[in-house]
A and B are shown apart, each in its own frame.
Chain A
C-alpha cells in the first residue's frame, strides 16, 4: 500500500504519521499542499499541526488549497482519506465531513491522554479493535469541540457514523476534554472511506512512546488488502 501524507505550511505531525504508516507496513510519501494529482496512492493522510497558522479558522485556509481538490476526487473514488486533529478540521472546513470544530470549552490548548471508545468496528481503520473498546490516545488541540446542528447530529447517530467517542479511562466524570457534542471524537462519511478524528492514533504506535493503542488503526487497511 502507498499513502500520501499531505504537508501544509504549518503541518507538524507529518513525521509521526509517516512513522506510524511505516510501522504498519504502508509506504508513505510526503505531498506538498500545491499538488494536484494523487493518482497512484491508496490513501491520503491529512496530519495535525497548524496549517496556515490556523488563520481565519483552524483548517479553513488549508481547505482551499490546491491539493484539496485532488483529495475531494480521491474521496469520491472511494479511496481512504484520514484527517487527524488539524486534518479533521481541514476535512470539515472542506465539507468532506459534516459539522465543525470549535474552540475548546475551557479555551485551553489541551495536551493529554484521553479515553476514546471505538463505536464501530466494520471500518478498515477500526476492524482490528473490539466494539466498545476504550483506547488510550493523546490529544493536543485548542479547537476540538465538535459541533453540528441537531439534524446533522441525529443523522450521524442514526447512520452510525460516530466512530470514536471520548470515554472515561478510570471512571472519571470529566472525560470529555473539549465540550464536543455527544462526546464525539471522530466521525466518518457515508461511504466509510473518509474519517476524521481529533485524537492522535499516529502518536500511539510504540510501547516506549506512550502506548500502542493507535497501531491497529493503521494495520486495519493493510490487513484488509492482504486478507
Chain B
C-alpha cells in the first residue's frame, strides 16, 4: 500500500480569543513590525498507508475530525501527498 502524508491545520475558531496570538502580536509590535494580528494554531503531519488517494483523503479527514475539538477549533486538510 502506498504511503501518504497529510498536513492538517488546526486553528482556534474565529471569535475565540487567542491570548497566545496576542502575546506574539505584542512582541512583534514592540519590535516595530507593522503587524495587525497574530493567531497561533497547530500543524500536524500525519504519515499513514492507504489503498489510493481517495481513501487517503477520507482517512486524513477522519483523523482531523478526531484531533480537532469542534467546540473551539476548526481544521483544514492543507496538503496530502504520496510519499516515495
Contact = CB atoms under 8 A, between A and B. Distances in A.
A133 B72 CA distance: 32
B74 to A, nearest CB: 13
Interface string B60-84: 0000001101011000000000000
B27 interface: no
A107 B69 contact: no
A99 B71 contact: yes
Nearest to A102: B72
A105 interface: yes
Interface in A89-108: 92-93, 98-100, 102-107
B31 interface: no
Contacts of A104: 19
- Give chain A's interface residue range (CB within 8 Å of chain B): 10 to 19
B19 A100 contact: no
Nearest to B19: A107
11 contacts: A56-B42, A57-B69, A100-B69, A100-B71, A100-B72, A102-B16, A103-B20, A104-B19, A105-B17, A106-B19, A147-B16
Interface in B24-47: 42
Give the dominant DSSP class at B's interface.
Answer: mixed
B54 to A, nearest CB: 26
Nearest to B44: A56
B19 A56 contact: no
Contacts of B16: 102, 147
B69 A103 contact: no
Nearest to B15: A149
A148 interface: yes
Nearest to B66: A64
A64 B66 CA distance: 9
Contacts of B67: 56, 60
A100 B72 CA distance: 7
Contacts of A103: 19-20
